[in-house]
Structure 1
Amino acid sequence: MSTTQPAVAVASAAPASRARSGASDAARAAATGPGPLADLLDAGLEVPVLGGGLVRHVNLDVAASAPALAAVAAHVARVLPYSASVHRGTGYPSQACTALLEDARIVVARHVGARLDDHVVFTRNTTDALNLLAGAVPGETVVLDVEHHANLLPWERRGRRVVVAGRTFAETLGDLDAELARRPAALLSVTGASNLTGEVVPLADLAALAHGHGARLAVDAAQLLPHRRVDLAASGIDYLAFSGHKAYAPYGAGALVGRGDWLDAAPAYLAGGGAVDAVSIAATTWKAGPERHEAGTPNLVGATALARALVEFERLGEAARRDHERALTARLLGGLAEVPGVRVLRGFDDLDDRLGIATIELEQGSVGLVAAALAAEHGISVRAGRFCAHPFFDRIAGRANGLRASLGAGSSADDVDRFLEALAELVADGPAQAYDRTPAGWCPRTDDRPRPSFG
């Protein structure tokens, strides 16, 4: 994948004859450890590497966007022939589509433990869902500085107060308690699990804290939901936002689930057909319920794909999902501890529960260069940057950027081992090829990898 961007810096290259990580997959086949938990569409995908040849792709960037579950893709293929007008048509396909959408709403509500009077509003993604909620909150919102930008920026225009988290979550709960006591707020909005560190926060404790001060609790569950079952009624969460593209249903839909009174009192998120009961030149009567905020033709495929992914999570089972992730996370963190010059970031000293996410700093060298070489020379996808969590990253990191490896339902012990081997090699010896630093990031100086043909 060649680039025409002008180079501004050059990385020195190690000898090109060094063996490429990933070429000895057969030798690793005997390695013990968990295999993939679920069948994903990218299973067995081979990608080209510099110098020619193909290697099995290792996807350790699922925290950004996950591939589709095979069961989800098969479900979408069955749905597409019936694609037709939702809520408005009299034909059989239209009625089938309407039933599919409303069944998806029921599945989502059941999976997250929604209360009987909660609304399930289908959105584009978590960012969209939280922006919708921001327009419905009747007062100020308190957030932590650990938030993803999706749960930091929407409140800026609506009255936002940011609490800087402490070194422990116990200390942070005390700071939140003091802030809410100092001046009341309508909402406390937090991440369920950090996309930077993978740390999982105690949501029931946060709900009790918010409710004790007359506030409600919203949770950005973009990272948490694909890994853990969330129950609104049991935990006391008032609003939950999440994305299909992180939950193995990358078809452009997410959801906001929560209490209906604020949503029914808020202006329609989108003004258009389907959100109204009656329209005249003089006045418009808006609907209540989810349809109030779902104007226009809905994303049927996205909504039903998201629901089907949640059904698949239930089929896999909560215990199996946790055991798979815990084993691979321990393997990943244990291996990183043995790589010289690597530090794993964490936000809280007292939170031991974490998802399969590890963001590292390097004592020397560029994480951007390492990420580029992992992809181009080893067929391993990770991510380098500040991960749309700039305030949090800037507070806990000592360098400009980090490198994140994230595990998912399709990850295996071999994936972890290949990453650790390649990372240790790159930290010790540098890339085998030459790279230029361009405005688009680090790119191979000579990129002979062919682009896939989608015909």
Structure 2
Amino acid sequence: MNGAFDVERVRKDFPVLSRELSGGRPLVYLDSGNSSQKPTQVIETMRDHFAMHYSNVGRAHHALGTESTEAYEAARDKVAAFVKAPSRDEIVFTKNASEALNLVAYSFGNRTNTDPRFALGPGDEIVISEMEHHSNIVPWQMLVQRTGATLKWFGVTDDGRLDLADGVITDRTKIVSVAHQSNVLGTVNPVAEIVRRAREVGALVMLDSSQSVPHHPIDLAGLDVDFVAFTGHKMLGPSGIGVLWGRAELLEAMPPFLGGGEMIEAVWMDRSTYAPIPHKFEAGTPPIVEAIGLGAAVDYLEGVGMAAIEAHERELTAYALQALAEVPSLRIVGPASTEGRGATVSFTLEGIHPHDVGQILDDRFGVAVRVGHHCARPLHLRFGIPATTRASFYLYNTTSEIDALVRGLHHVQKVFA
């Protein structure tokens, strides 16, 4: 599929996009930042494995067990290549990005971890930002409660950029964990500058890349961070599968997050030794078919081409920013240009609650957007608003769908005039 980007050809691979809602309304799906739709190729790959190849992995030596194990591990290879991980053993499958973030947070201040890079106690600091998803806030709050460390954060400017004020990262900082791309603002954060400051004080760096890996070419070696978390359901894959990437030396130093089958080397009644990475972190029966489905999603994205997807989304975003700017009393929350931002646009309509906006768009126009605080309540508090309406675009969206959104918003305003 590599070559000139053909959005209509792409759309044919997504069965749900041909669906008509009640009243003959075509579905306009502008909620991929929440969860993406799935192409036939992913659906059929998962169906075929369930139907013809399914067995548990790493345990059975019969034909089905071998086929399942090979397919599961092949998915790991695909994910590693997709994000240019130095080693496939650095790819840990989790159930979502939240679990990946919690896994890393669990390693800090853990008395079973003697590596000084993970030592954490009173006086030590963790740095996040005001634009984080709750999944990159709450685990660190819980860690602070366990250890007595201090949680600090970068603020957000009025135009939706990180305020990289001096003094937030200090020589007491042990880890900096920030969003690669904001799930509300669309802001793509300046990773290189954050890494530079963290390295000056010997701190580790983690990225929540749930909103970036599906949309941009990613090169982990080029990012030069220590950990990255992302999730399958936002990148054409199924729910129930996420990824933690970590530097091998760090993963090897970290204690297991969960105990159980397949994460062990040997077990006695009074002690256990653990399997090498990544299996040390994959206790119990893993999300087998979900991982295989994620592998199929990676195949699809690479077939289209991540550079082409990024370019298509940049065009959609530019079109949306211009079109939405013409809607009276609409305020975009976040960067007003495509520079350093992704294909997520959040906004408010003066005097109209986002819940009402979303309901009318859905009921009258078949336009699916997300409304609320998008699991980023502190960010909304910073802007003095309870909620926003969010339209998020992906490879299968078109400018005509943005036109449908704008028509719907004009109608919403008439309803509340």
SS of aligned partner of 1:99 = helix
Give 1 or 2: higher helix fraction.
Answer: 2
- Corresponding residue for residue 368 of structure 1: 355
- Structure 1 residues 37-46 or 406-415, which shifts more? 37-46
Paired letter, 1:62: S
Distance 1:307 1:387, change over 3 A: same
1:111-126 matches, cutoff 5 A? 111-116=82-87, 119-126=90-97
Distance 1:217 1:351, change over 3 A: farther
- Corresponding residue for residue 434 of structure 1: none
Gaps of 5+ in 1: 1-32, 432-455
| Cα-to-partner distance string for 1:3-38 (whole Å, 9 max, x where unaligned) | xxxxxxxxxxxxxxxxxxxxxxxxxxxxxx965745
Alpha-carbon distance in structure 2 between the residues aligned to 1:285 and 1:59 = 48
Distance 1:130 1:327, change over 3 A: same
CA contact (8 A) 1:341 1:362 kept: yes
Distance 1:206 1:338, change over 3 A: same
Q: Do residues 147 (structure 1) and 132 (structure 2) align?
A: yes
SS of aligned partner of 2:18 = coil
| Cα-to-partner distance string for 1:378-437 (whole Å, 9 max, x where unaligned) | 1111111111111111112x4321111111122112211111101111112349xxxxxx
Cα root mean square deviation, aligned: 2.2
- Structure 1 residues 378-387 or 34-43, which shifts more? 34-43
Q: Quote how far apart the aligned CAs of 1:89 are.
A: 0.5
Paired letter, 2:387: N
CA contact (8 A) 1:63 1:407 kept: yes
- Corresponding residue for residue 102 of structure 2: 131
- Corresponding residue for residue 46 of structure 1: 20
- Corresponding residue for residue 422 of structure 1: 408
Work out which of the residue numbers 169, 194, 209 in structure 2 matches 1:180: 169
CA contact (8 A) 1:46 1:55 kept: yes
Work out which of the residue numbers 67, 74, 78 in structure 2 matches 1:107: 78
Paired letter, 2:363: A
SS of aligned partner of 1:157 = helix
Alpha-carbon distance in structure 1 between the residues aligned to 2:36 and 2:311 = 20
Q: TM-score, normalization: structure 2?
A: 0.88
Q: Do residues 241 (structure 1) and 229 (structure 2) align?
A: yes
Alpha-carbon distance in structure 2 between the residues aligned to 1:369 and 1:73 = 34
Alpha-carbon distance in structure 2 between the residues aligned to 1:101 and 1:115 = 19
SS of aligned partner of 2:228 = strand
Work out which of the residue numbers 96, 105, 115 in structure 1 matches 2:67: 96
CA contact (8 A) 1:34 1:413 kept: no
Give the number of aligned pairs.
Answer: 390
- Structure 1 residues 214-223 or 350-359, which shifts more? 350-359
CA contact (8 A) 1:136 1:263 kept: no
- Corresponding residue for residue 373 of structure 2: 386
Q: Do residues 405 (structure 1) and 391 (structure 2) align?
A: yes
1:131-280 matches, cutoff 5 A? 131-137=102-108, 138=118, 139=120, 140-159=125-144, 160-167=150-157, 172-175=163-166, 178-181=167-170, 183-280=171-268
SS of aligned partner of 2:93 = strand
CA contact (8 A) 1:201 1:351 kept: no
Paired letter, 2:81: R
CA contact (8 A) 1:141 1:185 kept: yes
CA contact (8 A) 2:365 2:408 kept: yes
- Corresponding residue for residue 57 of structure 2: 86
Q: TM-score, normalization: structure 1?
A: 0.81
CA contact (8 A) 1:328 1:413 kept: yes
SS of aligned partner of 1:179 = coil
CA contact (8 A) 2:127 2:154 kept: no
Distance 1:187 1:295, change over 3 A: same
